[in-house]
A and B are shown apart, each in its own frame.
Chain A
Amino acid sequence: MKSGERFVVFNVYAPCDSSRQQALWNVLSSRIEALADQNVCVCGDFNIVRCMEERRSVSSVFNQAGLDNFNGFIANNFLVDLPLRGRTYTWYRGDGRSMSHIDRFLLSKKLVSDLV
Chain B
Amino acid sequence: MFDEDEPQVDDRSALPDDLDNDIGGGEVDGLLNSLAEDWKKEDEMCHFTPSTVSAMVKVTTASPIPATSAPAEDPSLASAMKSKTEQVLESACNIDRQYKHCLTDDKKVVRRASSCPPGKDSATPSGPWSLEWAKTHKSFSMGSASKPKLRVSAGTTGVKRVTKKKGGGYLRHCALNLKRIARLSDNDRREVLRALRRTSRKRKAVSGTSRAKVTSKSGSPNCTSQTSVNNDWNNWLVLHGNDKVMSDDVYELGRTIGLNFNGDKNNMFDVLSGVGRKTRVGGGDGVQAESKCGWWGGGGIGCEFRAMKLISWNVRGLGGAHKRREVSHLVKEHKPFLLCIQETKLPLFDALVCKSIWGDGNVDYSYQPSVGASGGIVTLWDLRGGGVVDSVLGSCARGSRSVCEVWGTFRSF
B275 in contact (CB, < 8 A): yes
Q: Which residues of B contact A7 (CB under 8 A)?
A: 389, 407-410
For window 227-262 of B, CB contacts with A under 8 Å fall at 253, 257-262
B214 in contact (CB, < 8 A): yes
Nearest opposing residue in chain A for B413, CB measure: A1
Bound complex: CA A71 to CA B267 (Å): 11
Bound complex: CA A45 to CA B378 (Å): 12
Chain A contact residue count (CB 8 A cutoff): 60
The answer to whether A92 touches B297, judged by C-beta atoms less than 8 angstroms apart, is yes
The answer to whether A82 touches B407, judged by C-beta atoms less than 8 angstroms apart, is no
Interface class of chain A by DSSP = mixed
The answer to whether B267 touches A81, judged by C-beta atoms less than 8 angstroms apart, is yes
The answer to whether B272 touches A112, judged by C-beta atoms less than 8 angstroms apart, is yes
Nearest opposing residue in chain A for B314, CB measure: A45
**A5 → B minimal CB distance (Å):** 5
Q: Which residues of A contact B379 (CB under 8 A)?
A: 9, 11
The answer to whether A45 touches B407, judged by C-beta atoms less than 8 angstroms apart, is no
Q: Which residues of A contact B404 (CB under 8 A)?
A: 10-11
The answer to whether B402 touches A53, judged by C-beta atoms less than 8 angstroms apart, is no
For window 182-240 of B, CB contacts with A under 8 Å fall at 208, 210-211, 213-215, 217-218, 221-222
Contact of A80 among B271, B279, B286, B296 (CB under 8 A): B271
Contact of B310 among A6, A31, A41 (CB under 8 A): A41
**A103 → B minimal CB distance (Å):** 5
Bound complex: CA A84 to CA B400 (Å): 28
The answer to whether A83 touches B409, judged by C-beta atoms less than 8 angstroms apart, is no
B50 in contact (CB, < 8 A): no
A-B interface pairs (CB < 8 A), number: 223
Stretch at the interface among B19-27, B153-161, B337-345: B337-345
Chain B contact residue count (CB 8 A cutoff): 79
Bound complex: CA A92 to CA B338 (Å): 24
Bound complex: CA A31 to CA B398 (Å): 9
Q: Which residues of B contact A112 (CB under 8 A)?
A: 271-272, 275, 287
User: Chain A CB within 10 Å — which of B211, B293, B298, B312 has the most?
Assistant: B312
Bound complex: CA A114 to CA B297 (Å): 34
Q: Which residues of B contact A89 (CB under 8 A)?
A: 214, 218, 299
Stretch at the interface among B71-79, B97-105, B139-147, B300-308: B300-308
User: Chain B CB within 10 Å — which of A10, A53, A91 has the most?
Assistant: A10
The answer to whether A27 touches B399, judged by C-beta atoms less than 8 angstroms apart, is yes
Write out, one digit per residue, whether chain A residues 21-51 have a CB within 8 A of any chain B CB (1) or not (0): 0011001100100000001010111000011
The answer to whether B407 touches A9, judged by C-beta atoms less than 8 angstroms apart, is yes
Q: Which residues of A contact B261 (CB under 8 A)?
A: 81, 83
Which 10 A-B pairs rank lowest in CB-CB distance, beginning with the nearest? A85-B258, A96-B210, A3-B412, A13-B342, A11-B340, A27-B399, A113-B275, A90-B299, A87-B218, A83-B260
Which chain B residues have a beta carbon within 8 Å of chain A's beta carbons?
208, 210-211, 213-215, 217-218, 221-222, 253, 257-265, 267-268, 271-272, 274-275, 278-279, 281-282, 285-291, 293, 296-301, 303, 305-306, 308, 310, 312-314, 338, 340-343, 375-377, 379, 388-390, 398-400, 402-413
Known: A45-B314, A112-B275. 12 other contacts (CB 8 A): A6-B408, A10-B398, A12-B402, A13-B343, A14-B402, A43-B340, A44-B340, A81-B261, A97-B210, A104-B289, A105-B312, A114-B279
Which chain A residues have a beta carbon within 8 Å of chain B's beta carbons?
1-15, 23-24, 27-28, 31, 39, 41, 43-45, 50-51, 53, 71, 74-75, 78, 80-97, 99, 103-105, 109, 112-116
